[in-house]
Structure 1
Amino acid sequence: MFHVRRTGAALLAVGVLSSCTAGADGNPPEPPPALDAATTEYTAAYDDVVGALTRDIPEVEWTAKDRFPHVAEQPDGRCVLFLAESLGEGDLYEPSGGLTELAAVLDPVLDEHGFDPVSEVVYPESGGDVYVTATDPAGWELTVGAYPPIVGLSGPVETDRCDESALG
């Protein structure tokens, strides 16, 4: 269980850190969406991604974690909404060609929701999970990891208060 939590936290940290950078075109990211709008819009994107994975890679059964969504203020003052995270039971790595075939499964769905195509497969030098990511112009990031299978979505939001009370 510790490995799952550590991996999930590491994947979400990747999303938070990358949301600080410029977009793929070198321009600054779009302003963050309002919390309520982001929750609705990105939940639809997340559901569509998990649906595509379920449909095209049935070897993995996805289960949503029960502690999401939550918000956290980052050291730079940004408020990040950790919208959703699902853990998979089964092998994602082999049936997805070492995650290389995830682009064919996810890119059409991501395009519908304004995300860039998935990244090349990332093999961390210091160990850890093998993963792919996709971002949108507002700095939101979807991460799909292999060991254990995990899907997470997080990004910056605009809200008056950046704590759990903001979620209503």
Structure 2
Amino acid sequence: MRSMFQVRRTGATLLAVGVLSSCTAGADGNPPEPAPPVDTARTEYSAAYDDVVAALTRDVPQVEWVPKDRFPHLTEQPDGRCVLALAESLGEGDLYEPSGGLADLAALLDPVLDEHGFDPLSEVVYPDDGGDVYVTATDEAGWELTVSAYPPVVGISGPVDTDRCDESALDEG
């Protein structure tokens, strides 16, 4: 049995790992589409995120989603890419059991994700290192939406095109 320490991993860590891996190739294995400008990303990906949270709220009422207040924020990666962590919410309640161990989320979220240009949710990931159980969806620009189980977290992040990768770029528009 895994200890709670082994099972817990923050959503932000999952987002960072997912974005780092998803930005090197598009969902089809080809180079990703160009990163969108910050203002375009905020508009388009906020809509996708909001629709996913709305679907989770509607169809998994056991979990109440509370937005974290440190979002959005930008992080420059070692290779020079700028990643926008746009939004993240922490779920209060049990997401794992009512979602069939997250496996049932595909039927709920894939249509929503498709409307926003994302590929279907991944298979449920059970990390070998004892990290959190999660599912992800990516789009052609390398953006990734992650839903994790312990604690329930939903977040979205991806690369953006900006001349400056600091908080002042969030005012672009």
TM-score of the superposed pair, with normalisation by structure 2 = 0.92
Residues 119-154 of structure 1: CA deviation (Å, up to 9, x unaligned): 000000001100000000000000000000000100
Unaligned runs of 5+ in 1: none
Alpha-carbon distance in 2 for matches of 1:24, 1:83: 20
- Give yes or no for the alignment of 1:133 onto 2:136: yes
Bigger CA drift: 121-130 or 7-16?
A: 7-16
Alpha-carbon distance in 2 for matches of 1:26, 1:40: 26
Unaligned runs of 5+ in 2: none
Query: Contact 1:29–1:137 (CA<8 Å) still a contact in 2?
Result: yes
Q: Which residue number corresponds to residue 165 of structure 1?
A: 168
Residues 50-96 of structure 1: CA deviation (Å, up to 9, x unaligned): 00000010000000000000001000000000000000000000000
Higher relative contact order (CA 8 A, sep 6+): 2
Q: Which residue number corresponds to residue 80 of structure 2?
A: 77
Moved over 4 A (4+): none
Alpha-carbon distance in 2 for matches of 1:15, 1:25: 16
Alpha-carbon distance in 2 for matches of 1:20, 1:160: 18
Identity over aligned residues, as a percent?
Answer: 83
How many residues align? The count is 166
Change in CA separation of 1:6 and 1:146 when aligned onto 2, cut-off 3 Å: closer
Corresponding residue SS for 2:112: helix
Query: Contact 2:11–2:153 (CA<8 Å) still a contact in 1?
Result: yes
Residues 21-50 of structure 1: CA deviation (Å, up to 9, x unaligned): 322322111000011000000000000000
